[in-house]
Amino acid sequence: MGKIQRIGILTGGGDCPGLNAVIRAVTKTAIFHHQLEVFGIEDGFLGLIENRIRQLTPLDVSNILTLGGTILGSSNKADPTRWRDTPEHDPCDVTDRCLHHIEQHRLDALVCIGGDGTMSGAANFIHLGVNCVGVPKTIDNDVHGTDVTFGFGTAVTVATDALDRVHTTAASHHRAMVVEVMGRNAGWIALHAGVASGADVILLPEIPYDIDKVCQRVVERGQYGKRFTILSISEGARPVGGGQVVAQVVKDSPDPIRLGGVGKVVADQIQAKTGIEARATVLGYVQRGGTPIPADRVLGTEFGHAAIELLMSGAQSRLVVMKGRTVTDIPILDAANKQRLVPVDHPLVEAARDVGTDFGD
Taking the CA atoms of residue 142, residue 258, residue 15 and residue 331 in that order, the dihedral angle to the nearest 10 degrees is 30
Q: Is residue 161 among the annotated active site residues?
A: no
Parallel, antiparallel, or unpaired for β 53-56 and 109-114?
A: unpaired
CA distance linking residue 180 with residue 86, whole number of Å? 34
Distances, alpha carbon 56 to alpha carbons 27, 139, 236, 312, in Å: 7, 26, 38, 19
Q: Is the dihedral of CA 114, 115, 117, 121 positive or negative?
A: positive
Please, are residues 312 and 34 in contact by the beta-carbon 8 Å criterion? yes
CA 182, 257, 239, 138 dihedral sign is negative
**For residue 246, what are the β-bridge partners?**
259
Assign residue 183 a region (left: φ > 0; alpha: ψ between -120 and 50; beta: otherwise). Answer: left
Q: Which of 43, 108, 116, 140 is the catalytic position?
A: 140
Q: How many CB atoms lie within 10 A of CB 89?
A: 9
Beta-carbon contacts of residue 219 (< 8 Å; ≥ 6 apart): 274, 276
Residues 69/40, Cβ–Cβ less than 8 Å:
no
Annotated active-site positions, please? 140
